[in-house]
Amino acid sequence: MAGKILIVDDEIHIRMLLEQTLEELEDDYGVELLTASDGEEGMEIIQEEQPEVVFLDIMMPKMNGYEVCRSIQESPEPNGSKIVLITAKGQEIDKKQGLELGACMYLTKPFDPDKVLLVAKELMNLE
């Protein structure tokens, strides 16, 4: 059975673009796409659904991407979600902080949809 991908971004057009980019995985592999509009909602979905991959924005209301990463790391229950930070914050210090908090990858906006698709396939061991 194919897994789940969660997209967490407060900007609806970014969520829609990521969904459109990843819908090929839905069609070809049966991957389930989930979305959240802020970090708090994203955290709830991560705990309930245990997605394999989470594309996570950093700058969001309620709970930012760094806080979500920290919460996942500090959770007593193991979580196998692979976090890919996807953000306009492209400074090396931002990248370093994200990776230290448990993200496995860091992509900057504007992102290349082909790269996002490739990353998702790699992290889910598809193809």
Between CA 118 and CA 92 the distance in angstroms is 23
Specify the pTM: 0.93
pLDDT at 34: 98
Q: How many CB atoms lie within 10 A of CB 44?
A: 11
Q: Give how many domains the chain has, as a whole number.
A: 1
Least confident of 66-70, 93-97, 104-108, 110-114: 93-97
Ordered alpha helix ranges (H), the chain: 12-29, 39-49, 65-74, 92-100, 113-123
Helix or strand or coil: residue 118?
Answer: helix
Assess whether pLDDT exceeds 70 at residue 9: yes
* Domain containing residue 100: CATH number: 3.40.50.2300
What six digits make up the tokens of 71? 């919460």
Largest CA distance in the chain: 38
pLDDT at 78: 65
Who has greater pLDDT, 18 or 89?
Answer: 18
Instruction: Express each pLDDT in 42-70 by its tens digit.
Output: 999 999 999 999 999 999 989 999 999 99
Q: Give Rg (Cα) of the chain.
A: 13
Assess whether pLDDT exceeds 90 at residue 18: yes
Assess whether pLDDT exceeds 90 at residue 7: yes
- The residue among 74, 101, 72, 73 whose CA lies nearest residue 87 is 101
Domain extent for 35: 4-123
Between CA 3 and CA 52 the distance in angstroms is 6
Assess whether pLDDT exceeds 70 at residue 1: no
Q: Tell me the average pLDDT of the chain.
A: 91
